[in-house]
Chains A and B, each alone.
Chain A
Amino acid sequence: MSEIRIENISKNYGKVQAVKNVSFSVKSGELFGLIGPDGAGKSSLIRIITSLLLPDSGNIQLGEYDVVKDYKIIRRLIGYMPGKFSLYQDLTVKENLEFFATVFGSSIEENYDLIKDIYHQIEPFKNRRAGKLSGGMKQKLALSCALIHKPEFLILDEPTTGVDAVSRAEFWDMLDRLKSKGISILASTPYMDEAMRCDRIALMQKGEILGTNKPSEISKMIQHDMFGVRADDMYKLKQFLSKCIDVDAVNLFGQEIHISLKTGINETSIREKLALQGFSNLEFRQIEAEIEDVFIHLMTRQAKEVKNDQ
Chain B
Amino acid sequence: MLPFIFLLPLIQTLILVYAASFDMKEIRLLIIDKDQSTESRNLQQKFIASPFFVTEIRHEASNAQDVIISGEKHAILYIPKDFEKSQKRQESTELQLLIDAVNQQAAGLINAYTNNILRDYSGNLKLEQGLISEKNLSPINVQKRYWYNSSLNYKHFMLPGILVILVTIIGTFLTALNIVREREIGTMEQINVTPIKKWQFMLGKLTPFLIIALFDLSLGLLVGVILFQLPIVGSLVSLFVFALVYLIAAVAMGLLIANEAKTQQQVMFTVFFFFVLFVLMSGIFTPVESMPQWAQAFNHLNPLYYFMRAIRMILLKGSDLGDVVPELISLGILGTVMFGVAVFRYRKLS
Contacts and interface: CB of A to CB of B under 8 A. Distances in A.
Contacts of B195: 72, 75-76, 103-105
Nearest to A71: B348
Interface in B186-230: 186-196
A47 B188 CA distance: 13
Nearest to A131: B185
Contact of B185 (A50, A54, A78, A86): A86
Nearest to B201: A103
Nearest to A100: B194
B350 interface: yes
Interface string B332-350: 0000000000000000111
A145 B191 CA distance: 11
Interface residues of A, number: 23
A78 B193 contact: yes
A214 B187 CA distance: 34
A66 to B, nearest CB: 16
B186 A53 contact: no
A87 interface: yes
A107 interface: no
Contacts of B191: 103
Contacts of A47: 350
A104 B194 contact: yes
A86 B191 CA distance: 9
A86 B350 contact: no
Interface residues of B, number: 15
B193 A53 contact: no
A146 to B, nearest CB: 8
Interface string A100-115: 1001110000000000
A47 B196 CA distance: 18
Residues of A contacting B: mostly: loop
A8 B42 CA distance: 98
A240 interface: no
A53 B187 CA distance: 16
Contacts of B188: 86
A50 B191 CA distance: 12
Nearest to B197: A72
A181 to B, nearest CB: 21
A50 B195 CA distance: 12
A84 interface: yes
Q: Which of the listed residues B188, B193, B196 has the most CB atoms from chain A within 10 Å of its own CB?
A: B193
Nearest to A85: B186
A86 B349 contact: no
Contact of B194 (A54, A87, A88, A103): A103
Contacts of B186: 82, 84-86
A169 interface: no
Contacts of B196: 103
A52 B349 contact: yes
A80 interface: yes
A87 B187 contact: yes
Nearest to A103: B194
Contacts of B189: 52, 82, 84, 86
A105 B195 CA distance: 9
Contacts of B193: 50-52, 75, 78, 80
A98 to B, nearest CB: 14
B346 to A, nearest CB: 14
B4 to A, nearest CB: 15
A53 B185 CA distance: 18
A151 B331 CA distance: 44
A87 B190 CA distance: 7
A213 interface: no
A82 B191 CA distance: 11
Interface of A: 47, 50-54, 72, 75-76, 78, 80, 82, 84-89, 100, 103-105, 145
Given A87-B187, A87-B190, 19 more contacts: A50-B193, A52-B189, A53-B349, A75-B193, A78-B193, A80-B190, A80-B193, A82-B186, A84-B185, A84-B186, A85-B186, A86-B185, A86-B187, A86-B189, A100-B190, A103-B194, A104-B195, A105-B195, A145-B190
10 contacts: A47-B350, A51-B193, A52-B348, A52-B349, A78-B193, A82-B190, A84-B185, A103-B191, A103-B196, A105-B195
Interface of B: 185-196, 348-350
